[in-house]
Structure 1
Amino acid sequence: MILKNAKIVDDSFHLCNSDIAVEGDKITSIGPGLNGQEEYDFSGCVIVPGFVDIHIHGCVGADTCDADAAGLAKMCAKLVREGVTSFCPTTMTVSHEEIAHALETVKKCMDQPPEGSAIAGVNMEGPYISIHRKGAQAGEYVKNPDFTEFKNLYDTYGGIIKLVDIAPENPGAEEFIRKASKLCTVSIAHTVADYAAARRAFEMGVSHVTHLYNAMPGLTHREPGVVGAVFDDGRVTAEMICDGLHIDPAVLRITFSILGKDRVVVISDSMRAAGQPDGVSDLGGQTVYVKNGAARLKDGTLAGSTTNLHQEVKNLVGFGIPFLQAVQAATLNPAREIHEESRIGSIKTGKFADLVVLDSDLNIKMVVARGKIAADNR
């Protein structure tokens, strides 16, 4: 397969005129004037890497914590049509047994992959969070960090946990961070930590912050908090929900400017209502009300999102974020955070052929996932 005559976002995240050759599931050649038996002319289009969503609970009626292989297959099929070629099914703060069943199901689906978006591993958002900033998480299952428990889950299900969340102010956090950070990415989330506690956590091994600004104290001129600690430490990457509801567009512009091209990760944090009509849904066993695309608990707390990475990239460009910065934040940066950047996240010879063709309005014309055409909207 040859994709011809488009601009491509190259491995350095610059635009260039080049063709892309695909054989099997890999990119085999990048350059001008490539020819082959199966050619697709994308004049006037731009080809970007497949999007990588490392924080997504569900969509189209399915949720990771359902521990249902058919539901995960529905997610894979839906996401790939939206240009998400790899993702991390994300668990909630639910019972230990429910988390274990979810991990078991994801492992089976990784061993025998459904058609569509590839499952890159699991993001374990709960239960080691703060009860004081639980957001839409179920309070009865919140607990202090327990490395022994986590390590058992990690080992039992083949090391598929790519990212785990923690409130660093809770008892047991120091041991957890030091040990868990040797296994996967450790992230601060759902926390009341102040600036000093966040900086200590970074020194111990935390390298990521979950949905920056949400479920944590705000940044003020005398209490910089976790947000200020991220701004002040170039080692740390922050994820953001860019639906225009969770974070004001002006704050998104400010944050992208401060953190630069390498330290922002766009996530959907979407729940089962994504891709569904407005109405009543649920997240982590709690009733969620979706109106005009906004998902909220009865008390008005935002409960995840109903967006997707393609829509968020379009949003960001509309908000004034440079196109290439927005694309990198939805592709290579998340791939790095789960240590998959050698295989996915950019357009480079030898990497998986995960490609999204966009027209001049950033609408999807074609999605290629692991070398196969997964969506064709020409």
Structure 2
Amino acid sequence: MTYFLKADRFYFVDETKEGGYLPIVDGHFGQWQSDVPGDAEVVDYSGKQIAPGLVDTHIHGFAGWDVMDNSAEGIHAMSEGLLSTGVTSFLPTTLTSSFDQLENVSATIASVADDVKGAKIQGIYFEGPYFTEKYKGAQNPAYMFDPSLDEFDKWQKAAGGRIKKIALAPERDGVASFVSTVTKQGVTVALGHSNATYDEAKKAVDAGASVWVHAYNGMRALTHREPGMVGAVYNIPNTYAELITDGHHVSSVASEILMREKGHDHVALITDCMRAGGQPDGDYMLGEFPVIVENGTARLKDSGSLAGSILKLKDGVKNVVDWGIATPEQAIRMASYVAAKSVGIDDVCGQLTENYAADFIVLDKDLELVATYLNGEKVFEA
């Protein structure tokens, strides 16, 4: 089956096309064209814009569920709920936990990964457990240890090879050999929840690490004598910075500085969303910790520290445009192509490129979500 999308604007990876038509052929993108035959079936989104489906590479929960619930039902609910946020591909993200719990969660995600009806599971992200206590955030330090290839291999086996990304603290013992080994296996290593010095961070990058976990949050700050983790984020090239753009985790000014230092092509917008995403304010759990959700934030009850977010990725995109720190093209790219590229899944998602699965979103002129499509079929309408 073939139909043609008509819209005012199409956001491609390297250019934006004004007007014209994008063919959808058997659930895949064709090549944009300026005109169509008179008898063509046209889906008319005049006055609207077409962008790639968004890609969330760091998300713990949504719609009342958390990845660490170890529930197949919960993974399905997350997948379907995320369509309302413009996300069509995601990496279910774990928290620091026991070896057994992480093994069980990996197996559960693997058991449903190919069957979800909503946003596609393009891999698993292990956020931890190889962190350090000083910047533990909403993670349990009881489970924080030095990296172990033997442990990781068992998790990866349980996951059916689906772990695409793992985060650790550079100052842990054995990091260089661990990073070198798993990156050769095609796993992206991210650095965060860390009190590492600039030099410790650089050694981890030299070994193969390439992503910074939610830049600024959970990491040693920059000072003029010890540039720390934040200095490393700014200064080490060819690395990607995750960024939460809810306006609470990072100020608009700090976000702007990050984009200037890294370039918009090396900043990946993420949500770090927890189970209260898409839910009313109130009491929730993040892993083993009680959380209160109010005033647009999720905070640990005991300390008041931020505990993930309730951000929807479509709103993160809109925020950076509204703050005047990114164009619509840059914002959409950071939440789709750049995010996908940062974890090596840009070969399957994050762009309106010919022969890719037709996963896309329809936006109005103000970047508000109108509809979400998977494989060329409308699966959500605002």
User: Of the candidates 160, 178, 181, which is equivalent to residue 179 of structure 1?
Assistant: 181
Q: How far off is 1:38 after superposition? A: 4.0
Say yes or no: does 1:308 pair with 2:332: no
Q: Which residue of 1 aligns with 2:83?
A: 80
Which of 85, 89, 94 aligns to 2:92? It is 89
Q: Report the CA distance between 1:34 and its aligned residue.
A: 2.8
| Partners of 2:7 and 2:50 within 8 A in 1 | no
User: Alpha-carbon deviation of 1:5?
Assistant: 3.2
1:238 aligns with 2:241: yes
The DSSP-based 3-state class of the residue aligned with 2:46 is coil
C-alpha distance in 2 between matches for 1:40 and 1:366: 12
- Cα distance in 2, alignment partners of residues 207 and 117 from structure 1: 25
Of 337, 341, 355, the residue aligned with 2:342 is 337
Structure 1 residues 66, 2: closer, same or farther in 2, change over 3 A?
A: same
Deviations 1:18-39 (A, max 9, x none): 3111122211232111356542
Partner of 1:266: 269
SS at match of 1:238: strand
Equivalences for residues 117-156 of structure 1 within 5 A: 117-156=119-158
Shift of 1:327: 0.9
Of residues 36, 42, 52, the one that matches 2:45 is 42
User: 2:209 aligns to what?
Assistant: 206
Superposition deviation, residue 261 in structure 1: 2.4
Alignment counterpart, residue 350 of structure 1, candidates 355, 361, 364: 355
2:118 to 116, 119, 122: 116
3-state SS of paired residue (1:6): strand
For the 8 Å contact 1:67–1:102, the answer to whether it is kept is: yes
* Structure-2 residue corresponding to 1:193: 196
Q: Work out the CA distance in 2 between the residues paired with 1:59 and 1:289.
A: 15
- Aligned-CA RMSD value: 1.3
Offset of residue 187 of structure 1: 0.7
Of 59, 64, 88, 2:67 maps to 64
Which secondary structure does the structure 2 equivalent of 1:30 belong to? coil
For the residues of structure 2 that align with 1:95 and 1:376, how far apart are their CA atoms? 40
Would the aligned equivalents of 2:104 and 2:158 in 1 still touch at CA under 8 Å? no
| Of 11-20 and 239-248, the range deviating more from structure 2 | 11-20
d(CA) in 2 for partners of 1:13, 1:217: 37
Q: Secondary structure, in 3 states, of the residue corresponding to 2:81? A: helix
The answer on whether the counterparts of 1:76 and 1:118 sit within 8 Å (CA) in structure 2 is yes
1:3 matched to which residue of 2?
Answer: 5
Which amino acid in 2 is paired with 1:89? P
CA positional deviation for 1:15: 4.0
Task: Give SS of 1:3's match.
Answer: strand
Alignment equivalent of 2:31, drawn from 22, 29, 32:
29
SS across alignment from 1:125: strand
Identity of aligned residues (%): 36
> Partner of 2:376 in structure 1?
371
Separation of aligned partners in 1, 2:159 and 2:284: 29
TM-score (norm 2): 0.95
* Structure 2 Cα separation of the partners of residues 284 and 226 of structure 1: 26
Q: Secondary structure at the match of 2:113?
A: helix
Question: How big is the shift at 1:303?
Answer: 0.2
1:163-221 residue CA offsets vs partner (Å, 9 max, x unmatched): 00111101121221111111200010100001111111111111111101000011222
Q: Indicate conservation of the 8 Å contact 2:125/2:164, yes or no.
A: yes
In structure 1, the gaps of 5 or more residues are none
Structure 2 distance, partners of 1:248, 1:17, is 35
Partner of 1:53, secondary structure, is strand
Contact 2:13-2:337 within 8 A present in 1 as well: no
Q: Is the 8 A contact 1:30 1:348 kept in 2?
A: no
Cα distance in 1 between the residues matched to 2:290 and 2:107: 25
1:145 match: secondary structure = coil
Name the count of aligned residue pairs: 376
